[in-house]
Structure 1
Amino acid sequence: MAPEECYFNIPVLLISTTVSFLSVHSTIVEKPVFKWLSKQTGREQELQQQKLALKNEQSLLSMVDEFAKYSKLQRRINVIDRELEQIKGEKPTNSFVLQLGFTYGVKLVFALLLIVLSLYYRYTPVLYLGDKVNLMPFTNFICYPNEANYVSFYFWVMCCVTVARLI
């Protein structure tokens, strides 16, 4: 027997809305993870500080008048640049294949999670609209596989994904 008033299945509503939104906007998850993975190590920070100090010292010199000192500082800066490039090259986050795999991996995880949730909550209505609402001619589409005036998990996820893409 259906209740008289509208009601929401809050846990299912929150879970489905959140996962639907994250499946479309997976960069919300990806960006912090990439930022954490590509965070500079202590050695990189130290080299960057040394390079900045050498550049500041070099900017105080006249290239024409003190060419020997200027060139010596430039060689030291070049050594630091090579070491920084070597350190950055060793990091796995610089790999294009890894970034692409991680990006689509996150999307795949959310898609699989939506499939599992759809199977788990297939007979659980997300909300009931009440007896006063008539959904004709879309009743079967909105309610499947539930009774009339219930919004199914499938329809709710489809609406959430559509709205998330529009945002």
Structure 2
Amino acid sequence: MKRVGNELLAASRSGSMAQFAMVLNSNADIPSIGISALGEYARVLPKTDRPIYYTGMINFIARYASREAPKYPVARFIVTSQSKEDPRGTYVDSRITLENGSSYDVRWLVVRRGNTYKVRDAQVIGFWMTSFLDTLFQSFISDNGGNPKALVVALNR
């Protein structure tokens, strides 16, 4: 998680959408995040459309992160503790210190995938990030006739 945090810190400092996307592609549990974000609509999206959906989802998150990063210039990222692994995964706690001296805690949920771990979620100021993605994506699909392909098209514009 320390490596992932340092990669995210570098992406944040660069402000590069492509760098954020690279970090996400390398370290995020993309299929789990993506399917969860679709909720009940996941069963309607053909498996053949999932790769393009995942690409659009990563680009959406990376675009958002690169736009927001300059508002929160990070000075330091440190891992403070981790839980024992349980069926949900392992929780890794960290502290983010901004250049203005303020700090906040981030709890990461990491899951084992083969011989490595992937980030499944992050909790910032008490809110899990994927719940926002779930609400946003499912509302968009609902507002577009319940068709998840509408989301795929929008994410890949």
TM-score, normalized by length of structure 2? Answer: 0.29
Structure scoring higher RCO (CA < 8 A, sep ≥ 6) equals 1
Structure with greater proportional strand content: 2
**Bigger Rg, which one:** 1
